[in-house]
């Protein structure tokens, strides 16, 4: 146990003394957040839903707010004013067959694919920070006998993946 403690101290000392470990992520390693420090709050109105799957916009908006709160230094709010605004539209919700069981011909695995258009803008200046069109996220589920996952399992997994991916897009440029 003692060698681990010594190794940890050495690694910490090297990291602190490392000149390439700057706060500028473009210069090399960094221990600082890659999110813009000038943006403290984000208002996230409920995404619009053009998919025909009712309630999907509420699930996605809630997942995005939770992801912002848990993985960024920013605070998500539901009301203006805020430093920035993240708004979007769900444009697609599709299921794609991935595999078929050869013995029965029944679907073995399905994928749920969500597509959104979103804009993250600086509410103070009105300038766009990130804008994406046709942004997709896909996750799978297994409806086959024996596992029997429901469609909601795949849909919720795709919503969570989309929320993580959108929030990851909110990082500063490297």
What's the whole-number mean pLDDT along residues 62-90? 93
pTM for the model:
0.77
What is the pLDDT, as a whole number, of residue 14? 46
Higher pLDDT, 108 or 139: 139
What is the pLDDT, as a whole number, of residue 91? 98
Q: Considering Cα of 125, then 130, then 134, then 135, what sign does the dihedral take?
A: negative
Helix segments in 48-150, DSSP class H: 56-71
Q: Considering Cα of 150, then 156, then 158, then 160, what sign does the dihedral take?
A: negative
Q: Which helix (H) or strand (E) holds 105?
A: none
Q: What is the per-residue pLDDT across 13-59, written as a single tens digit (0 to 9) for each? A: 444 444 444 455 566 666 666 777 788 999 999 999 999 999 999 99
What is the pLDDT, as a whole number, of residue 172? 67
CATH fold of 34-169: Rossmann fold (3.40.50)
Q: What is the per-residue pLDDT across 80-120, written as a single tens digit (0 to 9) for each? A: 889 999 999 999 999 988 888 778 777 778 899 999 999 99
């Amino acid at each position: 146990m003692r060698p681990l403690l010594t190794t940890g101290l050495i690694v910490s000392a090297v990291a602190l003394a490392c000149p390439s470990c700057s706060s500028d992520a473009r210069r090399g390693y960094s221990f600082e957040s890659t999110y813009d420090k000038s943006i403290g709050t984000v208002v996230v109105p409920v995404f619009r839903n053009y998919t025909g799957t009712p309630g999907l916009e509420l699930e996605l908006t809630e997942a995005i707010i939770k992801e912002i709160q848990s993985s960024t230094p920013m605070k998500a709010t539901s009301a203006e004013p805020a430093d920035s605004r993240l708004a979007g539209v769900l444009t697609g919700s599709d299921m794609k067959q991935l595999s078929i069981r050869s013995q029965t011909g029944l679907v073995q695995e399905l994928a749920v694919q969500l597509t959104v258009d979103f804009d993250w803008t600086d509410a103070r200046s009105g300038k766009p920070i990130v804008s994406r069109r046709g942004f997709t996220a896909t996750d799978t589920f297994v409806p086959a006998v024996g596992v029997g996952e429901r469609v909601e399992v795949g849909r919720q997994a795709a919503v969570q993946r989309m929320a993580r991916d959108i929030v990851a897009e909110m990082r500063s440029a490297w």
